[in-house]
Structure formats: C-alpha cells, structure tokens
Amino acid sequence: MIAQPGPRLRAGIIGTGFMGTVHANAIRMSGGTIAAVASRSPEAAQAAATRFGAEEASNSPEALIARDDIDVVHICTPNSTHADFAAQVIASGKSVICEKPLATTVEDAVELAALSEESGRVAAVPFVYRFYPAVREARARIRSGEAGPLWLLHGSYLQDWLADPATTNWRIDPLLGGSSRAFGDIGVHWCDLTEFVTGHRITRVMAKTARAFGERTARRGSTRVDTEDGAAVVFETDRGALGSLVVSQVSPGRKNRLSFSFDGTNASFRFDQEHPETLWIGEVDSTRAITVGSESLSADEARRYALVPSGHPQGYQDAFTAFVTDAHRAIAGDSVEGLPTFLDGVRAAQLTDAVLRSAAADEWVSVPELITVPTARERQR
C-alpha cells in the first residue's frame, strides 16, 4: 500500500543539528513546505535553510514563532530549551512538534501538556519507533491475543556514540541536557514503545544508573559530568508482567540498537531496530521471521506504514516521515490513531524522574498509572 502524501502544511524548524535535519527530510517527504528555519545563530540558520531546502532563514526562534504563515513549528534544539519554545509556540496559536524529552522536569512537562490541551492544537512528540511496520504488526497481533497473556517484557537500547570520554555534546552537560542523559534520551523511547505495543503500563521501577568514565569534558569546559552513561531497570506493570531494560550509550558496536522481546504464554514477539525489516515470532513448536513488506503483513495498521514489498527495507527516516505525516494529518483535522502527544511526553518525564529517584534511593519507586493534567482553573489556584 503506497502511503498517501500528507497535507501541504507550512512548517518552521527551530534547530539545525542532526534532529533538525531528520525533521526537515520528513517534512519534505510528507509533502510539507519548510517555510523557515531558525537558530540562536543567524549564520547557522541561513546555512541550514539552504541545506534543508527552506524558503528562508528567520533572524531568531522568536521571529519564526511570530510568523503568521506557518502552521506548525518543529522544535529540535537542546533539551533545556524545549519547554520555553513549546510554550511560546502554543501561545502563538500554532501546532507544535517538540523533540523528546518534552521537558527536563515533570512539572514543566505537565504545564506544557495542560497548555496544549487548552489550546486545542496538535502537540506531538517524536516517539518515532512506533512507526515501523514491524512494530505495528507486533502490536496488532499481541492485542488480538496471539501471544497469550504477556508475563515478561525485556530488552535494551544500546548505542556507542559516547564511547569516547572526550566526546563533547550538549547532551553531556546537565544544564542543557537535563539531569538524566542515557535514560532520559533513549530509555524513554523503549518504555514508550513497550507501553504502546503491549498496552501494559509500568507501575513501579527499581533502577541503577552507571557511568563508564569517571570524568567527561562538557562542551563548556572541563566540568565533571555526573549524568549516566547507562541504566539497568527492573519494572512491574499494571497487568502483572515483569520487565527489564538495559540502556547504554557506551556499548561499542551498537549504533542504535533498540530491541525488545515481549513474551506471552503462547508466543514471543521480538524486534531489533537495527534490522527493522524482520519481526521474529517465537512459539514452542515453531519460530518464524516475518519479512516486513506491504504484501506480508496481516494488520491494516501495519500495512498502512509499509511503503514497499518485502526485501526493500524501510528504515529510521521512513519511520520519522510516517510520524510527521501523521502529525501533519492530525493538524489538518484528520483522526489519527497512535500519534504520540505531549501527554506521552509527560509519561516519559515521569518515568525518567522515577528511574533517577529509584537509583538515588536504592529502592522501588512507583510511577503514576494515569497522566493527570490540571485544568486551567486548577492551575490558576
């Protein structure tokens, strides 16, 4: 099934790095127009506008947000700036797509979710691993009961881009990246995907964090950095399952290896983001690897994201383009199932906070099952 292009929205991008580039590719491939690009550096904005095929560069993020010819702003800046920019975009009456983490504190994330709910605009967060066809196939099969009751949810998310202690990046600086680095950056992807695919909700965690190196040099100079290179998390869910997650950004040879195995009493479902063209289904008397393609999937929701037949692997940028297309469809008024919103951004902040508190206290920490967002009246008290 060839996906239909999205609505022809006009988008603005704040941020010119790796994620800004991925968002720009996705906006163009979904049929949108990049009206403007902004950065704290006008020079960087101008260079990115050329690279991204944008109509122009804005003089500042604020100038971009103030424009009246933009439907949606994509925020792709360092984590510590997300809350302020997202609040400004919502106040301007536009829809917003804000990179995760939505905010570096639960309080800021809840405030943004409340503002977005009140605005009536679309406010999305790119938990893009939901958008692989193999993931949607697993979700549909698990929800149909094919796995039987899920009792064990386990996996890992391993990278090696911080395997050199001299690597500097704003993510290393807790003032720019937040108080959690590895879990807050990629552990939240794994948790979002697990809850999205299985329907389970994590109710409590027991976590430890760790660093591969005693010292790192943050971009601002030789500051001792004590955010984690990795974490090990044991968790329980609202439906009685046990789970375990290992997160690392210092695992040499693992580039972006998000993997899960969701084990039921009838079948297990395994996915590896570095080989997304295969969904592995294990049963006692047979195991099979489904090659993901438009003709091989059983679930409508999976076929919707399969652009080409089996043997033509889709990848990360395709998943990102599917996310942006769905978000832009929602902005255009379509009903879209499975779009990660600011409420999912709050969930990620809650899980990150629980993991850090558990690691510090060396004890189990509960996670709210439901996300409550105060009304405007409650917030005015």
Contacts 24+ apart (CB under 8 A), 213-222: 213/165, 213/250, 215/165, 216/165, 216/167, 216/168, 216/172, 217/165, 217/166, 217/168, 218/168, 218/172, 218/173, 219/168, 219/169, 219/170, 219/172, 219/173, 219/176, 220/173, 220/175
CB of 185 to ligand SOE, least distance (A): 5
Contacts of 42 by beta carbon, 8 Å cutoff, 6+ apart: 57, 59, 60
Contacts of 50 by beta carbon, 8 Å cutoff, 6+ apart: none
CB of 297 to ligand SOE, least distance (A): 23
Stretch that binds ligand SOE, among 85-93, 183-191, 197-205, 339-347 (CB under 6 A): 183-191
Nearer to ligand SOE, 164 or 283 (CB): 164
Interaction mask 237-276, ligand SOE, x per CB under 6 A = -------------------x--------------------
The amino acid present at 3, given as its one-letter code, is A
Stretch that binds ligand SOE, among 184-192, 237-245, 324-332, 367-375 (CB under 6 A): 184-192
Nearer to ligand SOE, 23 or 270 (CB): 23
CA–CA distance, 316 with 314 (Å, rounded to integer): 7
Interaction mask 129-168, ligand SOE, x per CB under 6 A = ------------------------------x---------
Write b or e for each residue in 47-65: b if 16 or more Cβ atoms lie within 10 A of its Cβ, otherwise e.
Answer: ebbeebebeebbeebeebb
Interaction mask 1-20, ligand SOE, x per CB under 6 A = --------------------
The dihedral sign for the CA sequence 81, 368, 195, 343: negative
Neighbours of 290 (CB within 10 A): 21
Nearer to ligand SOE, 80 or 159 (CB): 159
Binder among 117, 185, 195, 228 for ligand SOE (CB under 6 A): 185
CA–CA distance, 206 with 228 (Å, rounded to integer): 16
Q: What percentage of the chain's residues is helix, strand, coil (to nearest 5)?
A: 35, 20, 40
CB of 10 to ligand SOE, least distance (A): 25
Nearer to ligand SOE, 1 or 212 (CB): 212
Residue whose C-beta lies closest to ligand SOE: 185
Interaction mask 285-324, ligand SOE, x per CB under 6 A = ----------------------------------------
CB of 256 to ligand SOE, least distance (A): 5
Residue pair 310/291 in contact by the 8 Å Cβ criterion: yes
The amino acid present at 230, given as its one-letter code, is G
CA–CA distance, 296 with 200 (Å, rounded to integer): 27
Q: Tokens at residue 106, please? A: 């639960």
The dihedrals phi and psi of 337, each to the nearest 5 degrees, come to: -90, 135
Binding-site size for ligand SOE (CB under 6 A) equals 5
Nearer to ligand SOE, 167 or 296 (CB): 167
Q: Is 186 in the site for ligand SOE (CB under 6 A)?
A: yes
Pick the closest to residue 182 from 143, 147, 210, 204 (CA basis).
210
CB of 243 to ligand SOE, least distance (A): 20
Dihedral of the alpha carbons of 71, 124, 31, 317, in degrees to the nearest 10: 150
Nearer to ligand SOE, 178 or 264 (CB): 178
Stretch that binds ligand SOE, among 107-115, 185-193, 219-227, 351-359 (CB under 6 A): 185-193
Nearer to ligand SOE, 185 or 236 (CB): 185
Nearer to ligand SOE, 15 or 293 (CB): 15
Nearer to ligand SOE, 121 or 189 (CB): 189
**Whether residue 101 has a cis bond before it, omega within 30° of 0:** yes
Binding site for ligand SOE (CB under 6 A): 159, 185-186, 189, 256
